[in-house]
C-alpha cells in the first residue's frame, strides 16, 4: 500500500482525511489484496453501520476455546513446571559440599545425635525417595524448621509476605503510572525529539543498578532534604502515612528498571498497533486522534505489557534483596540472605521454593488474564 | 552476522563511545598490576576518608586505603567475574541451544523444561542461593552467574535455530551430505550469532550489577580484594558525613553498566534496523 504524502510514518493516511476519500482508498486496497476483512469493512462503512471493533471481530470464526477449558489446560500445564522447580530447589541444597548433618548440628555433636537426626530427616534413604518425602511435606505446607531459630520456615515466610507484597505492589504501580504515558507519548512522536529522549531515559533506567539508585535516593531524600525516613517499614493499618513514606524510596529504586522495560514495551507495541488496519478503520470512521490512540490503540497495545507487568511482579517477590537490605525491610529476600550467611538450609530451600512457585503461579495468572483480554491467545 | 550490521555499528557514535569505555575498563582490569598505584590493601588508619590529593587521586576509604587503586582492582574483579560467567554461559548455552534446536525430540523437551525451571527464579536470588550452597567468593559468584545465565542463551539460540533450520540453505547442505556438526556449526551458528551476541552484551551488564550486588551484601568478593559493590556497602555507612566516598563506586558502576547496555542496544538496532 502506497503511503500518502504528509501522512504520519506508519499510518496509512493523514488526520484530516475525509470519510469518502477513505472508502475510496479501501476500495483500492480491495483491488490489491481482496481480503475478506476489507470487503466486510467496506460494506459496513457504505451502509453507514458500525465498524467491527477488534475485540468483537476475533470470534467471527466461532472457534475460540471456552475459557473454562483454557484455564484447565493451563492448570495442567503448570504441574511439570512446579515439579521441575521443586527438583531444582531440592538439588540446590544437595550441591553443598560436606555433610548437611554436620552443618546442621556443628562439628561437636555426638554420634548418636548425628545418627538420630540423619534418620529423622531420612538422609540415609536414596535421593529420589528423599525427594518424594520432602515434596510430600511441602504439599502439606511443611517447609521444615530453621536451624538457627527453630521457627517453622512456612511461618517465617508468611511473616515477611506483607512487606514483600507492599513493596512489589508499589513498585509495580510506580512503574506503570510513569511508563504507560511515556511509552504512548514516545510512540505518538516516533522519530522525533520526545521519542529520542524517552529512549535515552529508559536506557538510563535499565542500566542504573537498583542499589545505586537507592543510595542516591537515600542521600537526597533522607540525608539532604531530610523529608523521608531512611529505613524501616510501618504496617498500612498502623500508620497509613508512615506506610507510604517508608515505601516511597524503596519502591522508586526498585521500580526504575521495570519502568525502563515497560516503557519500551508500551512504545514498541503501540507503534505496532498504530500501523494496524483497525486503527486505520477507526480513523476512517472519523474518530479523533486521542480517542483512536486511547481506546482502540492502547487497549490492544497493552496486551503484551500485561504479561510483562505480571512477570516483573513475580520477579519482585524474590529479586528485591539488595533494596531490602538498604532500607532494612524484613522481607523475603533478606530472609534468604540471612539463610545463606548462617548456612540455614531449610530457610534457603523454603524461601527459594516459595519464590519459584510464586513465579510459576503468576505466569499461570498471566496466561489466564491474557486469555480473558485477548481470546485469540486461547487458540495457541 | 552481516557485514552491513558491523558497518552500521561502526558509524554509530553512541555505540562507539560505549564500546570505548568498555574496552578501557577491560584494559584497566588487565594491566592493573602494572599501573603505578598505591596498594589497594595498605591501610593508613591516621588518614581515613581523606579527600582527593596528589598522593591519593580519589582520596582514601574508611581504612585509609587508596580509593583509585581499589576502583581499578574492583574493575579487575567486575570484569573478570562478568567475562568468566558470560563466557561459560555463552559456550554452554549456545551448544545446548544448537543441539536441542537442531535435533528436537525428547531431549529438547526435557532440557527446555529444566531451563524454564531455572528461569523461574529471579537471577540474583538463584545466584545467592547457589553461592549459599557452594560458599561466597568471587570465583563462586562467577560459577553461580554462569549457571543462572545458561538458560537465557539456550533459549535465544534454540528459538533462532528453529527458524533457520528449515531454510533452504540448511536443507541444501543436508542434501549435499553434510553432517550434523558441519550444518550446526558451519551453516546455522553463523546465522544465529546476532541474537546471541546481543544477549551476551546484555548479560554482561547484568553480571556486573549482580556481582556488585552480591558483594554489596557480603556474599561475593571477599576482603581484602576490593569490589565496587563492597566499596559502596562500606561507603553507605558514611553517607551522612562523607557522601563523595559513596559517589565514586556509584559513578563507576553506573558508567560501566550504562556503556555496556548502550552497546547492546545499538547492536540490536544495527542487526535489525527494521525493528522499533
Mean pLDDT of B134-154: 90
Q: Is the pLDDT of residue B142 over 90?
A: yes
CA separation for the pair B192, B159 (Å, rounded): 9
A326 and chain B in contact, CB less than 8 A:
yes
Closest CA to A121 of A311, A345, A340, A343: A345
Cα nearest neighbour of A224 on chain B: B240
The minimal CB distance from B134 to the residues A95, A207, A315 is found for: A95
pLDDT of amino acid A206: 84
What residues of A are in contact with residue B253 (Cβ under 8 Å)? 209, 212
Burial class for A153, CB neighbours closer than 10 Å (0-12, 13-18, 19+) = buried
pLDDT in tens, A276-290: 888 888 888 887 777
pLDDT of amino acid B82: 94
Chains A & B: contacts with CB separation below 8 Å: 134
- In this predicted structure, which of A100-104, B38-42, B115-119, B254-258 has the lowest mean pLDDT? A100-104
Cα nearest neighbour of A207 on chain B: B258
Residues in chain B: 276
Please give, rounded to a whole number of angstroms, the shortest distance from the CA of B61 to a CA of chain A. 17
> Taking CB atoms and an 8 Å limit, are B117 and A208 in contact across chains?
no
Burial class for B172, CB neighbours closer than 10 Å (0-12, 13-18, 19+) = exposed
Q: Compare A353 and A300 and report the one with higher pLDDT.
A: A353
The minimal CB distance from B133 to the residues A92, A203, A359 is found for: A92
A93 and chain B in contact, CB less than 8 A:
yes
Q: What is the mean pLDDT of chain A?
A: 77
What residues of A are in contact with residue B250 (Cβ under 8 Å)? 212, 215-216
A333 and chain B in contact, CB less than 8 A:
yes
Helix (H, G, I), strand (E, B) or coil at B66: strand
DSSP B237: G
Mean pLDDT of A182-204: 87
> Taking CB atoms and an 8 Å limit, are A341 and B254 in contact across chains?
no
Query: Under 8 Å CB-to-CB from A174, ≥6 apart: which residues?
Result: A251, A252, A255, A259
Burial class for B87, CB neighbours closer than 10 Å (0-12, 13-18, 19+) = middle
Query: Under 8 Å CB-to-CB from A1, ≥6 apart: which residues?
Result: A12, A29, A32
pLDDT in tens, B235-251: 888 877 777 788 888 88
A356 and chain B in contact, CB less than 8 A:
yes
Bridge-partner residues for A145, per DSSP?
A152
B24 and chain A in contact, CB less than 8 A:
no
CA separation for the pair A343, A337 (Å, rounded): 9
> Taking CB atoms and an 8 Å limit, are B205 and A80 in contact across chains?
no
Query: Under 8 Å CB-to-CB from A85, ≥6 apart: which residues?
Result: A353, A356, A357, A359, A360, B117, B120, B121
> Taking CB atoms and an 8 Å limit, are A318 and B123 in contact across chains?
no
DSSP A224: I
Residue A98's pLDDT band (cuts 50, 70, 90): low
A268 and chain B in contact, CB less than 8 A:
yes
- In this predicted structure, which of A120-124, A199-203, A240-244 has the lowest mean pLDDT? A120-124
> Taking CB atoms and an 8 Å limit, are A322 and B213 in contact across chains?
yes
What residues of B are in contact with residue A338 (Cβ under 8 Å)? none
Q: Which three cell numbers stand for residue B66?
A: 587508596
Q: Is the pLDDT of residue A87 over 80?
A: yes
For residues A99 and A55, the answer to whether their CB atoms sit within 8 Å is: no
What residues of B are in contact with residue A361 (Cβ under 8 Å)? none
Strand segments, DSSP code E, in B34-86 are none
Q: Is the peptide bond before B224 cis (omega within 30 degrees of 0)?
A: yes
Q: Is the pLDDT of residue A230 over 60?
A: yes
Amino acid at each position: 500500500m502506497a503511503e500518502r504524502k504528509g501522512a504520519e510514518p506508519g499510518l496509512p493516511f493523514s488526520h484530516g482525511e475525509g470519510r469518502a476519500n477513505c472508502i475510496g482508498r479501501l476500495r483500492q486496497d480491495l483491488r490489491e489484496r481482496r481480503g475478506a476483512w476489507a470487503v466486510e469493512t467496506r460494506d459496513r462503512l457504505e451502509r453507514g453501520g458500525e465498524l467491527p471493533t477488534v475485540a468483537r471481530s476475533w470470534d467471527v470464526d466461532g472457534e475460540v476455546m471456552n475459557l473454562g477449558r483454557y484455564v484447565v489446560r493451563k492448570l495442567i500445564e503448570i504441574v511439570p513446571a512446579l515439579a521441575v522447580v521443586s527438583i531444582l530447589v531440592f538439588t540446590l541444597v544437595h550441591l553443598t559440599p560436606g555433610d548437611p548433618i554436620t552443618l546442621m548440628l556443628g562439628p561437636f555433636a555426638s554420634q548418636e545425635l548425628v545418627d538420630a537426626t540423619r534418620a529423622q530427616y531420612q538422609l540415609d534413604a536414596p535421593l529420589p525417595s528423599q525427594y518424594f518425602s520432602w515434596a510430600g511435606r511441602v504439599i502439606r505446607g511443611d517447609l521444615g524448621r530453621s536451624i538457627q531459630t527453630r521457627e517453622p520456615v512456612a511461618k517465617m515466610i508468611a511473616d515477611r509476605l506483607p512487606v514483600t507484597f507492599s513493596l512489589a505492589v508499589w513498585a509495580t504501580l510506580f512503574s506503570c503510572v510513569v511508563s504507560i504515558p511515556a511509552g504512548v507519548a514516545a510512540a505518538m512522536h516516533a522519530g522525533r525529539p520526545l521519542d529520542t529522549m524517552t529512549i535515552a531515559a529508559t536506557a538510563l533506567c535499565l542500566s542504573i543498578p537498583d542499589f545505586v539508585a537507592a543510595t542516591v535516593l537515600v542521600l537526597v531524600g533522607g540525608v539532604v532534604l531530610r523529608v523521608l525516613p531512611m529505613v524501616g517499614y510501618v504496617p498500612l493499618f498502623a500508620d497509613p502515612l508512615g506506610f507510604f513514606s517508608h515505601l516511597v524510596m524503596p519502591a522508586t529504586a526498585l521500580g526504575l528498571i521495570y519502568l525502563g522495560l515497560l516503557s519500551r514495551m508500551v512504545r514498541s507495541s503501540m507503534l505496532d498497533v498504530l500501523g494496524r488496519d483497525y486503527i486505520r478503520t477507526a480513523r476512517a470512521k472519523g474518530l479523533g486522534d486521542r480517542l483512536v490512540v486511547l481506546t482502540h490503540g492502547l487497549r490492544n497495545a497493552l496486551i503484551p505489557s500485561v504479561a510483562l507487568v505480571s512477570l516483573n511482579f513475580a520477579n519482585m517477590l524474590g529479586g528485591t534483596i539488595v533494596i531490602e537490605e538498604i532500607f532494612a525491610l524484613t522481607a523475603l529476600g533478606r530472609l534468604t540472605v540471612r539463610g545463606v550467611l548462617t548456612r540455614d538450609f531449610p530457610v534457603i530451600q523454603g524461601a527459594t521454593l516459595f519464590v519459584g512457585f510464586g513465579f510459576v503461579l503468576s505466569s499461570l495468572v498471566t496466561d489466564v488474564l491474557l486469555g480473558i483480554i485477548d481470546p485469540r491467545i486461547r487458540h495457541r | 552476522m552481516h557485514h552491513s550490521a558491523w558497518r552500521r555499528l561502526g558509524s554509530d557514535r553512541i555505540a562507539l563511545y560505549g564500546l570505548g569505555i568498555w574496552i578501557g575498563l577491560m584494559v584497566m582490569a588487565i594491566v592493573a598490576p602494572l599501573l603505578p598505584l598505591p596498594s589497594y590493601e595498605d591501610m593508613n588508619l591516621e588518614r581515613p576518608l581523606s579527600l582527593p590529593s596528589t598522593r591519593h587521586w580519589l582520596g582514601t576509604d574508611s581504612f585509609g586505603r587508596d580509593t583509585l587503586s581499589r576502583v581499578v582492582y574492583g574493575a579487575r574483579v567486575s570484569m573478570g567475574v562478568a567475562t568468566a560467567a558470560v563466557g561459560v554461559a555463552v559456550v554452554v548455552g549456545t551448544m545446548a541451544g544448537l543441539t536441542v534446536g537442531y535435533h528436537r525430540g525428547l531431549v529438547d523437551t526435557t532440557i527446555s523444561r529444566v531451563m524454564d525451571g531455572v528461569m523461574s527464579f529471579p537471577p540474583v536470588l538463584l545466584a545467592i542461593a547457589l553461592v549459599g550452597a557452594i560458599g561466597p567468593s568471587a570465583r563462586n559468584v562467577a560459577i553461580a552467574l554462569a549457571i543462572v545465565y545458561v538458560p537465557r542463551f539456550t533459549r535465544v539460540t534454540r528459538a533462532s535455530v528453529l527458524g533457520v533450520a528449515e531454510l533452504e540453505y540448511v536443507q541444501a547442505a543436508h542434501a549435499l551430505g553434510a553432517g550434523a556438526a558441519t550444518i550446526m556449526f558451519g551453516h546455522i551458528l553463523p546465522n544465529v550469532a546476532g541474537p546471541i551476541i546481543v544477549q551476551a552484551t546484555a548479560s554482561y551488564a547484568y553480571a556486573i550489577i549482580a556481582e556488585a550486588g552480591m558483594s554489596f551484601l557480603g556474599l561475593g568478593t571477599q576482603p581484602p580484594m576490593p569490589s565496587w559493590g563492597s566499596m559502596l556497602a562500606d561507603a553507605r555507612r558514611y553517607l551522612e558525613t562523607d557522601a563523595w566516598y559513596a559517589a565514586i563506586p556509584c559513578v563507576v558502576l553506573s558508567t560501566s553498566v550504562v556503556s555496556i547496555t548502550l552497546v547492546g542496544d545499538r547492536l540490536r538496532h544495527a542487526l535489525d534496523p527494521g525493528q522499533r
